[in-house]
Amino acid sequence: MKSIRPLLALILLLLISWATLHWSSMESHEASEFPLAGEYRADNIVSSGGIDRTFSYYLPSTLKEGAALIFVLHGSISSGEAIREMTGNEFDLLAETNQYIPVYANGFENHWNDCRASADYSANTQDIDDIAHIAFLIDLFVQRHQIDPNKVFVTGHSNGGQMAYRIALEAPQMVRAVAALSANLPIGENFDCEKSGIPTSIAIFNGTEDNINPYYGGTVKLGSNESRGLVLTTNQTTEYWTKLVGADMASPDKVVEYPETDGMPYTSVIATHWNGVNDTEVRLYRLQGSGHVIASKLYDFPDYIGPNASDISGPEEIVTFFYQTLEK
């Protein structure tokens, strides 16, 4: 019996990997349902840090000089194309009216080198400099499309959310704000980043029933055996960022309870806002009853990922948050 268990674990991991790469074909609304006026440019190849890297992006039909840039980073064993569809192509749709270019960059061998020391994928073990890679892409879009380097934002899901944390921790001067989805900061011995100590605007979207990134802290797991190490609770993660901006977590500036709209009364969304120094802001979107998902009205995640969060549009909330930081 013991000899069978490793084989079963391997099979489970392979199934999760396959499903992650093929989420776009599972019960989602296809992009063709939402005609886009601009141009989607897929599979661009650049040499960054001596390595061939790929990315895709959407160029709005209404784009003007001085537009913003939003990086949308995928999770483990995934791709830019997958997260584009997992967000219902909403970042493309919103770009038409909000003057930005969404960029779906691909991690090194389908992963980002985030702050988790115990991660055993090649981006981490080979210490790929993904911060330098994002900086390279920013310069590329400044040159090619005249985006405003002071209007750069990063959001990401899971491993992509961890990468957003790393940028906010080590290179906050690169971005105006970040948004991390389904991600908690790594704990103690699992933390492998330098902290700049610079206050940064950040939004966090975490599901309380997440079975991969545990809301209440613990071990991040993919499958039965593959671990990404220990992470803090969502409240501890949020407290780090509120302290960094000089806010008191016990005294939020605003709490918003979103109405029930998706026919799933066991899920709900509460957003808590804290204002900080230098016009920074921290937000926590508590996705009550939801799993390892991106809040969306246009995409249904498979059941094993956990209940969806469909009372809000995650992309719309993220873009609104990003643009509000420009108004301060």
Interval 276-318: pLDDT, tens: 999 999 999 999 999 999 999 999 999 989 999 999 999 999 9
d(CA 192, CA 293) in angstroms, rounded, equals 25
7-48 pLDDT per residue, tens: 334 333 444 444 444 433 333 333 335 679 999 999 999 999
60: left (phi over 0), alpha (psi -120 to 50) or beta: beta
Domains in the chain, number: 1
Residue with tokens 């918003």: 256
Three-state SS at 98:
helix
d(CA 128, CA 120) in angstroms, rounded, equals 13
The alpha carbon of 85 is separated from its chain's Cα centroid by a whole number of angstroms, namely 14
How much is the average pLDDT of 119-147?
97
At 295, the amino acid letter reads A
pLDDT for the residue 33: 54
Alpha carbon dihedral 82, 323, 163, 50, in 10-degree steps, equals: 80
Number of neighbours of residue 140 by Cβ within 10 angstroms: 16
Determine contact, residues 302/291, Cβ cutoff 8 Å: no
d(CA 325, CA 275) in angstroms, rounded, equals 11
247-267 pLDDT per residue, tens: 999 999 999 999 999 999 999
Q: What contacts 149, CB < 8 A, 6 or more positions away?
A: 138, 142
The domain that holds 62 is classified in CATH as 3.40.50.1820
Whole-prediction pTM value? 0.90
Q: Which domain holds residue 257?
A: 4-326
